[in-house]
Amino acid sequence: MVLLRYPLPWRSPLRLLGLFDLASKLQAYATITIGALFALGALSLLGLVKAIAILLYVMGSILLVDGSLGIVSGIDRTWSHVRYGTAAKAMAAGKIIAGSLAFLLTIVGVLI
């Protein structure tokens, strides 16, 4: 949050969107790296399952926080498209459901 803080005063929750974009991009790069390590043979199948479980935890956390903030604020941004009102709250509810499913898959991956 400190890295993305603007020198201007707080005006809207839209300023938090850069943080979610950064976290999603880092998670995507980590997924590609783990897939490449598995393809090169540097990571076992059990290691791949554990790494994917950790990445699902990160993605689930991002989706749950983004969804809950979307419901509270009524603002949602998905794929560079900003929505307001009921459309934003519907997308936020979908993000909460997807984040909950990611947490469920995380539990399954950790228990293996």
pLDDT in tens, 11-34: 555 555 667 777 888 888 999 999
Whole-angstrom distance, CA of residue 15 vs CA of residue 2: 12
Residue in 38, 45, 59 with CA at minimum distance from that of residue 105: 59
pLDDT range class, residue 6, cuts 50, 70, 90 = low
| Strand 81-84, strand 75-78: pairing | antiparallel
51-80 per-position pLDDT tens digit:
989 999 988 998 898 899 889 888 888 877
What is the b/e burial string over 11-33, where b = at least 16 CB atoms within 10 angstroms of the residue's CB?
eeeeebbebbeebeeeeeeebee
77-101 per-position pLDDT tens digit:
887 788 888 988 999 999 999 999 9
The helix/strand/coil state of 81 is strand
pLDDT range class, residue 5, cuts 50, 70, 90 = low
